Amino acid sequence: MLKKIYNLIVCCLFFTVGTISAQQPAQYSMYMLNPYHYNSAYGGLDESLSATGVFRKQWVSFPGSPLGFSFNAHLPIEYIKSGVGLSMEHDVIGAYSNTFVRASYNYIIDFGDNGKLSVGGAFRFMQKTLDGSLLRSPDGNYEGGIILSHNDNLIPQIKVSSNTVSADAGIYYKHRKFEAGLTALNLTSPKLTLDVGTIQQIRYVRNFILTGSYRWDVNDKMSLHPSFLLKTDLIKFQPEIGAIFKYQDNFFGGLAFRGYSKNTKDAVVVIAGLKLNKNFILAYSYDISVSKLRTYNSGSHEVILNYNLNRPIGKEIPAKVIYNPRFL
């Protein structure tokens, strides 16, 4: 049954004529622990060098299910009231793979006790690859696992790839108690072309992502952190809500839910993590699928590791060297 579903998905991909639209970015469940991933305006708001790596395997046991890796690093440059960052992401869905590299800059306005407001933008390099050797057609000629011919000019026999560039823009406000951000991805709605015998155009649709979170101190040891994320291309919407309990800011756990109706519900997410030391935070989440796909997969796994240098960087312009002629 799983193989039939996978083949149906492949057929839908390759027998669709014209331009294909890539509507939404890759799915990650622990968005509240990695705000820079979706919003480049967050760069430097961790107030030191911050680096985050994420691994995600979605819909385990489902053939061709998404597999993703991402890494980002960002830091403040306080003497010019700015933040800079770099991120890389690679995800695989069936025979498709996507690679993204993003460089960002943001300007930070410090309101003191009233928080910080950041406005920024980023340039993104994007590469999409189709590995035709992973596909099989009904009329193909295959012997001993070797592809002699797909007999289908819509399916390449080797890997084909194409590149394009795009731009993002975002705004982010961070306070000790509350933070929120809005970002626009793929502002230029770029296209790329895959030559698979016939020309296949793929257009990246402009997406908007709204996030927010709040910190409620239950007592001097425990705090509650509700959060939300909304992704949309202004046609379809995918909301997520969650809440994490923290104990002494060292141990934490919580739940999240993705979807908003009977037809859009996707998963219940269980989250757990701990602060390993003053620099590292490790967290794990497990998605319990509640959509119609729940009978065809055994959930999704995600692991995130964050490193924070936890000391100031770029507080002031380095002092000029002053030579003393007395010691010449």
Is residue 328 situated within a structural domain?
no
Digit-coded pLDDT (tens) for 189-226: 999 888 776 677 889 999 999 999 999 999 999 999 99
Q: How confident is the model at residue 2, as a pLDDT?
A: 44
Task: Tell me if 253 is assigned to some domain.
Answer: yes
Residue 320, in any domain of the structure: no
pLDDT at 317 over 60: no
For the domain that residue 167 is a member of, what is the CATH number? 2.40.160.40
278 lies in a domain?
yes
326 in any annotated domain: no
pTM of the model: 0.86
Domain assignment present for residue 323? The answer is: no
Query: What is the per-residue pLDDT across 251-285, written as a single tens digit (0 to 9) for each?
Result: 999 999 999 888 889 999 999 999 999 999 999 99
Q: What is the 3-state secondary structure (H, E, C) of the chain?
A: CHHHHHHHHHHHHHCCCCEEEECCCCCCCCHHHCHHHHCHHHCCCCCCCEEEEEEEECCCCCCCCCEEEEEEEEEEEHHHCEEEEEEEEEEEECCEEEEEEEEEEEEEEECHHHCEEEEEEEEEEEEEEEEHHHCCCCCCEEECCEEEECCCCCCCCCEEEEEEEEEEEEEEEECCCEEEEEEEECCCCCEEEEECCCEEEEEECCEEEEEEEECEECCCCEEEEEEEEEEECCCCEEEEEEEEEEECCCEEEEEEEECCCCCCCCEEEEEEEEECCCCEEEEEEEEEECCHHHHHCCCEEEEEEEEECCCCCCCCCCCCCCCCHHHC
Residue-range definition of the domain harbouring residue 136 = 2-315
Considering the chain, what percentage of its residues have pLDDT values greater than 90?
66
Number of domains in the chain: 1
Mean pLDDT, rounded, of the chain:
87
